[in-house]
A and B are shown apart, each in its own frame.
Chain A
Amino acid sequence: MIFAHEIPAGSHLYSGEAARTKRTIESRAAEVLSAQGYEEIVTPLFSYQQHENFADRRPLIRLNDADNHEVSLRADSTADVVRIVTRRLGRSTQTKKWFYIQPVFTFPTTEQYQVGAEVIDGEFVDVTRTALALMETLDLHPLVQIANMAIPKLLSEKYGVALEAIEVMHLDTILASGHPWIESLVHIQHPRDVQNLSLYPADLAAELSRMVEAAGALEREDILFSPLYFARLRYYDALVFRLFADNTVLATGGTYTVDETNAAGFALYTDACITQILQKDTHG
């Protein structure tokens, strides 16, 4: 039985203070991003290409168009934005910096409001700075976690550590790989823990060095390093970041490749930010 006032699990109903907070987040984000030269875009809710972004397609809400081609509700904005701006709008605009304020939907009835930004040929440090500037304007101060998707890929493809073990961070299996440097790699938590790159094979050392350079450029004390963290979205292929506070992920982003276009971007999770802001207002 469904009650007249019932809303599906995973969907959101905002009113009063919560709705005002949502509007504030979105307006401030629009101001900050416009001031930094980003153009706004609103992409279709329906998409033909969503399945290409997900290793596991179960989260997609799928239906069919009039010709029985598979269509999904947008579960991720990044790849669609990049494809649209490079293929559809590419000839008519020189803009490389885009932002969007729109929700994504996953099976069965989860909706998530997001503010996203994508920069064609963009740099990791620039988009991370922008995401942190947005957090600052919202008076949110999350921990900054940096990882590098090239490291889990190297470990799996070249050094025999199963990607499944890395995905779920099965520590016993990872340590059992027996490499003389694996324990040091697992223990890395801060940029200062990566002082002796000669411990690692050259390819891993190069990827760790990219993390160190990025952390140095961000000039923050609170950066966490997680070289074994694995992001589940297919297109992330190098440096990524997560901003989290109190077990809540407020934003994620990084550098990626979609259809041979290199870009960098992030998504700010509006619902999580609303919760954090309201909690702060309640508990101080």
Chain B
Amino acid sequence: MLTIALPKGRIAEETLMIFSEIFSGAFTFSGRELIMEQHGFRFLNVRNQDVPTYVEHGAADLGVVGLDVITEKRLEIIDLLDLGIGRCKVAIGIRNEETLDWNRPDIKIATKMVNITRDYFARKAVGVEVIKLYGSIELAPLVGLADAIVDIVETGNTMRENGLKIAEDIMDSSAHLIANPNSYYAKKEEILDLHEKIAGVIGDA
């Protein structure tokens, strides 16, 4: 049996719809259920940021997680497939009336994604002070905590509503199917069979 960790919410629902299409059955978590078994798969309903932890430690063979999380956490996992769902960007946001001055020696960036931010600014040879926040990132430039933010942007509405604009895109992201390396080697036939079926469905979409 393959155990698959899914991030609570829309991405889990869209992933389970793919399973419904492949295996012609109802794949839904009922109520506050955390484990659901269906068609020989065990699904775990976990927080988005926890998906890689379940997969990396082998509590789940597979998981669905954003490319941004894979990049940020520098995971030792196998990246099986871009599912093409949950598309978003990681972008630099600044106040509407400002421009990002790359010549400043001390840019302060507020973000949840410390590694992606450090790597991006390092590649541009720009010194940066990264301030780690856990939520409401858009607030930071509005109250002078930071000059800019690095955050996930889906529609851009949250930034717009808070008087911010995108200064630069860092990377595109979408949900990927990942595997624990040891599970992949030990259960390769089952995992690649599932990979093929999912690729067929998202290829047809």
A residues whose Cβ falls under 8 Å from a Cβ of B: 143, 145, 168-172, 186-187, 189, 224, 226, 229, 244, 246-247, 249
Closest 4 A/B residue pairs (Cβ): A247-B58, A189-B188, A169-B78, A247-B182
Overall SS of chain B's interface: helix
Q: Does B57 make an interface contact (CB < 8 A)?
A: yes
Partner of A171, one of B81, B180, B183, B186: B81
Q: Does B181 make an interface contact (CB < 8 A)?
A: yes
Q: Is A189 a contact of B189 with CB atoms below 8 Å?
A: yes
In the bound complex, residues from chain A placing their C-beta under 8 Å from that of B79 are: 168-172
* Min CB–CB distance B131 → chain A (angstroms): 22
Interface flags, B66-97, vs A, CB<8A=1, else 0:
00000000000011111000000000000000
* Min CB–CB distance A10 → chain B (angstroms): 16
In the bound complex, residues from chain B placing their C-beta under 8 Å from that of A170 are: 79
A-B contact pairs, 15 of them (CB 8 A): A143-B185, A143-B186, A170-B79, A171-B78, A171-B79, A172-B79, A172-B80, A172-B81, A187-B188, A187-B192, A189-B189, A229-B185, A247-B57, A247-B180, A247-B183
Q: Is B58 a contact of A246 with CB atoms below 8 Å?
A: yes
Number of residue pairs spanning A and B whose beta carbons lie under 8 angstroms apart:
40
Q: Does B184 make an interface contact (CB < 8 A)?
A: yes
Interface size bracket, B side: 10 to 19
In the bound complex, residues from chain B placing their C-beta under 8 Å from that of A224 are: 185-186, 188
Interface flags, B168-201, vs A, CB<8A=1, else 0:
0000000000001111111011001001000000
In the bound complex, residues from chain B placing their C-beta under 8 Å from that of A168 are: 78-79
* Min CB–CB distance A175 → chain B (angstroms): 9
* Min CB–CB distance A143 → chain B (angstroms): 6
